[in-house]
Amino acid sequence: MEGASFGAGRAGGAIDPVDFLKQPQTILRLATWIFSIVVFGSIVNECYVNKDSQDPELLCIFNENESACSYGIAVGLIAFFGCIFFFVVDLYFQQISSVKDRKRAVLLDLGFSGFLSFLWFVAFCFLANQWQQTTMSTGVLQGADAARAAITFSFFSIIVWVALAVKALQRYRLGTDMSLFATDQFAADPNAAYPGYPTGSGIESTETYQSPPFTETLDANPKGYQVPAY
């Protein structure tokens, strides 16, 4: 569907599910959706551990910093629901007839993708830094794999969201081909020639000139007028 209006064909066109799923943008969204599940799922399920067997209190595995776990979960949930929202927008994008609405959707996608790229960058740096400062214990070792998975997929999420931002920027620069919204003046057949200037019947008229609109018969000697004699 590359080409016509912000990367999609004319409004109202049929949607091919196979072609839609093969689009790079759709694949990237599915990847970010899975990555977000891995990050916040790993933190929620396995990154709250007991400091020791004698203490039942659950602490964040990242240097016992609750902010690190909360931030990772929050960014993961934002990315999760954001992916679902923009997946639906992509699915119905071709049904949007208004060029202004298409432009708003692309700009929203661009801004959100750039914002999530920044959030994931902060999440990766924050979690990696706190993990380096974490003191290894029995509880920490049990959730170490989940912590590493959260850090790793945070890094992968940066790359994918940057790629989505680039795709949105390309769609915005593509802009709109306004000829798609003025097709009624052309013939239905795409191979038909452009209508030319109307021509005559092909029979040349024998009258070269027409009579002037106002004509008068000028009499050399009008009545009541005499030529003076000299």
Domains, in order of start, for the chain: 15-172 (1.20.140)
**pLDDT, greater one: 90 or 122:** 122
pLDDT, the chain, mean: 78
In angstroms, rounded to a whole number, what is the distance separating the alpha carbons of residues 17 and 33?
19
13, 42, 138, 182 from 62: Cα distances, Å: 50, 12, 14, 59
**pLDDT, greater one: 225 or 126:** 126
pLDDT at 73 over 90: yes
pLDDT at 229 over 70: no
pLDDT in tens, 165-205: 999 998 888 875 443 333 333 344 555 554 454 555 555 55
Q: Phi-psi region for residue 201, left (φ > 0), alpha (ψ -120 to 50) or beta?
A: alpha
Q: Which residue has the tokens 């030529």?
A: 227
Q: How many CA atoms does the CB half-sphere of 158 hold within 13 Å?
A: 13
For the segment 40-62, the average pLDDT, to the nearest whole number, is 85
For the segment 151-163, the average pLDDT, to the nearest whole number, is 96
In angstroms, rounded to a whole number, what is the distance separating the alpha carbons of residues 70 and 44?
9
Cross-strand pairs, 49: 59
Q: How many CA atoms does the CB half-sphere of 42 hold within 13 Å?
A: 23
What global pTM score does this model have? 0.68
pLDDT of residue 112: 96
Size of the chain, expressed as the number of residues it contains: 230
pLDDT at 223 over 90: no
